Amino acid sequence: MVLDPFCGCGTAIVAAQKLNRRWIGIDITHLAIGLMKNRLADAFEDRVSYRVIGEPVDLRGAEALAAQDKYQFQWWALGLVGARPMEEKKGADKGIDGRIYFQDDASREVKQVILSVKGGNLRADDIRALGHVVTRENAHMGVLLTMQDPTQPMRTDAAAGGFYQSPTYGRFPRLQILTVKDLLDGKRIDMPPLRQTSVTFRRAPKAKAEIVARLRPLWDDTAEIDGADELDELDELDELDDSDE
């Protein structure tokens, strides 16, 4: 069993999975958990199975998280749709809580979806405001993730936003609204398929051979290696490798 109590960028977890070891990864933020989910999906696609403990699994849990910490709620909700949270300091989001970057044609042009998350206090003009942000940012789509059900006028405003025409995958509503209930029921953004198009996160290394080879002795009971120092060095190596992609 491999235990990583501070997942960080996930080097030990990815290598443990590659070596078919049982593992436990721990972190305290939904931002880190979302990153780990994306990294495992990038590295192993459907060939990995795991359970996340501590995430909301129903509306009551989501409401409790939103009441406790709105930023953790945002990170959790964004993670459900494969979005990257904004990196600006808290309070400086300019109407943007997250982004999805994707490429859906032969030109490899990077396009984006703007996301806004509302854990409460949903206003009638929120979807119109999102439309303005999409235009300002030269984005292709905008999605409002909300705890509360939108009003019919809000749905009408979203429908009036028009469509994004993908060169490869067809037509998609330019402005969309998804409730937390929708997300918990498995509904996702209507857009070009993320598995084929998303470049939101830097692609996780496919369990690089060098990292795996160097981690193997850490889990050999006969090895005499300072594991903490070795893992720190591997984290730095992995971050450098990611920056080169």
pLDDT given for residue 240 in this prediction: 47
Domains of the chain are 1-55+208-245 (no CATH), 72-202 (3.40.1350.10)
pLDDT in tens, the chain (245 residues): 889 888 776 778 888 898 898 999 888 788 778 878 878 877 887 788 888 888 899 999 999 999 999 999 999 999 999 998 986 555 555 789 999 999 999 999 999 999 999 998 899 899 999 999 999 999 999 999 999 999 999 999 999 999 999 999 999 999 999 999 999 999 999 999 988 888 887 644 444 444 445 545 555 544 444 444 544 554 554 544 444 44
Q: Are 205 and 242 in contact (CB under 8 A)?
A: yes
Distance in angstroms (rounded) separating the CA atoms of residues 33 and 243: 21
- CA angle at 177 for the pair 31 and 45, rounded to the nearest 5°: 45
Residue 195 has a pLDDT of 82
Does this model's pTM top 0.95? My answer is no
**In the prediction, which pLDDT does 225 show?**
42
Pairing of strands 141-146, 163-166: unpaired
pLDDT at position 222: 44
